[in-house]
Structure 1
């Protein structure tokens, strides 16, 4: 069967469209290093308390390995601006809270309770830094995506 010039172009367009749609549907996963895998498999109690005394704000993270990951893998303090951290945190928190409200769709062992975080409060750099890094840690450890951003370090 011989295709006309139009048929050839149309067939090429269909194939390219199919490949593009397939490629867009493939979600990239972050590359997790062996050092991270070791930390993720840790069972040592590694509790981190995030607090801002002046706001009477406290978050306790009980996820084995997070403190070790924060100290050894995460970007250092000062790498990101506070505004960057706040912008990402509000996105992460909104998606997290949405998932908490949908236990039939999302694993309720991962998304247990809502996070009370609002953009109109200045939590300070340290609180934002640690919360942001916990979200990155969480996404990498449990292979989750809270936003369209690939959780990179």
Structure 2
């Protein structure tokens, strides 16, 4: 009788595990992530970020556009861009697979909130993904 109780408990448990496992494989589809475009058409300025994971990071980790002021984002971006561009100039010291291109960010140009927001959060994403620090 004890064996029957054990099997009675074990069978639903095994069915639960098997059904959960089969459910996960049905939903295990790969979704191709689209690049993030940072653009200001009036200034003819565009950055295309194709770094896998950034779209998800932007949608799940980034705070809303209204959280920081545009001037805050602009000041942070100016600092981050300086560090980034310095690392681009020294590929023998820094990973050239990460720091491939210099960013032409000029402090006297008003790029708008959208450009500053996405650029700021890309730097935050890069710091987390590549385990680096871009601020002094």
Question: Do they fold alike, i.e. is TM over 0.5?
Answer: yes
Give 1:46 shift: 3.4
Report what 2:10 is aligned to. none
Note the alpha carbon deviations across 1:69-115, whole angstroms, 9 max, x for none.
Answer: 10111111100000000000000000000000000100000000100
The one of 108, 116, 123 equivalent to 2:104 is 116
Unaligned stretches of 5+ residues in structure 2: 1-29
Give 1:43 shift: 8.7
Unaligned stretches of 5+ residues in structure 1: 1-41, 149-153
Q: Distance in 2 between matches of 1:75 and 1:62?
A: 21
State whether structure 2 residue 49 is matched by structure 1 residue 61: yes
Scaled by the length of structure 1, what TM-score is found?
A: 0.67
Report what 1:141 is aligned to. 129
Q: Distance in 2 between matches of 1:64 and 1:46?
A: 9
Note the alpha carbon deviations across 1:16-72, whole angstroms, 9 max, x for none.
Answer: xxxxxxxxxxxxxxxxxxxxxxxxxx9943310010010000000001111111011
Scaled by the length of structure 2, what TM-score is found?
A: 0.75
Q: Distance in 2 between matches of 1:123 and 1:48?
A: 16
Aligned pairs, how many? 107
Q: 1:136 to 1:130 in 2, by over 3 A?
A: same
The structure that is helix-richer by fraction is 2
Report what 2:93 is aligned to. 105
2:47 alignment partner, SS class:
strand
Computing the radius of gyration from Cα coordinates, the structure with the larger value is 2
Contact 1:97 1:115 in 2 (8 A): yes
